[in-house]
Amino acid sequence: MSGSLNLLPASYADFRRTAERRLPRFLFDYIDGGAGAEVTLRRNTADWEAVQLRQKVLVDASAMDCSVELLGEKLAMPMVLAPVGMGGMTARRGEVQAKRAADKAGIPFCLSTVGICPMEEVGQVSQTPFWFQLYMLKDRGIVQEILDRAWAQGVRTLAFTIDLAVLGTRYRDIRNGMAGGLGPWGRFRSGALDYALHPGWAWDVGLRGGPHGFGTIARYVNQSKNPRDYLHWTGTQFDSSVTWTDIEWLRAVWKGNLVLKGVLDVADAKQAVAIGADGMIVSNHGGRQLDGVASTAAMLPWIADAVGSETTLLVDGGIRSGQDLVRALALGAKAALIGRPWVLALAAGGEAALTRYLALVKQDMRTALGLSGAVNARDVGPQVLLRD
């Protein structure tokens, strides 16, 4: 979990550096990378950093409170661990470890359709409900069965991803053989050689952490033995024809909270409200889909002005610190999701490292609240921002 000279990690960047050393190259790049030239990936973080907080002094900060209410749950801070495909490959049974860390931090964990651990395994961690993220498959019977299984596991909030009509072009995955690669050398480099260069991961996760399929959908996938086989299957089964009519069908069959993940347009946000979604996540898929689109920090105020009073608004993409959580609240979100940070913290040192990272985020948020004059997270608004 420590960095150079055995220093304790103090920020997301520290965990990321350790994760880069520990993970096989193909896996680190799959998680860390974005689409195309990664312009949007960089914008996501840079635009949050550009949002300036307003420092206020002599405000009583003795009773600070980071907690919020979100979709019927009380959260210790306005954060959700976002669904990350193959996130469980970064540590042994990674999603299980992440769920335990989220429980301790008092925040929700959202399991991906293409997570490594099946929902039944994650559900055994505790009685605390988790969220589930759904991709629409061509076989609606499978989708209905997955929803029924999720409900039986206590899932009451479904995050449906709507920005995957086609898969983004991710140069890092191509170079590493995850998306075609450069022939036999690309596949070899992202396989045996890469594992040999990272023996700790190869032993703990590669050999002891199986099975390595997409656990929730494994029963529907024939003759697939590893994540690459599963990725190929999902590439043929994800439904590119999904429209708002399919959202209407999903709204009719899902009894719990329905949150649409991938809204980046005001008109789409209004349509999501009209169709009966309980919430939406302002998201560009972490910069992994269409490169060159706006950052979520840039779009959040526009969408909040349009529909913020009518829905539960969340945001993801580039959130790295407790200061970013305060910025997100100030721009109109009720909470934020983090993806890469939790996965890379897990890679850096398992559940203990992720627990430390989440504690650092909360402490950082307390600092931002205490010095911006809004000591209660539920009171954060534009007043904490320095406006031009």
Catalytic residues: 285
SS3 341: helix
Two structure tokens written together for 212: 């390595």
Nearest CA to 57 among 363, 369, 372, 322?
A: 372
Map tokens 């610190």 to a residue. Answer: 321
Distance CA 49, CA 43 (A): 10
Two structure tokens written together for 301: 């105020």
Distance CA 115, CA 118 (A): 7
Distance CA 160, CA 272 (A): 12
Nearest CA to 115 among 132, 101, 100?
A: 132
Phi, psi of 134 (to 5 degrees): -115, 135
Could you count the other beta carbons within 10 Å of the beta carbon of residue 4? 8
SS3 151: helix
**How distant is the alpha carbon of residue 270 from its chain centre?**
23
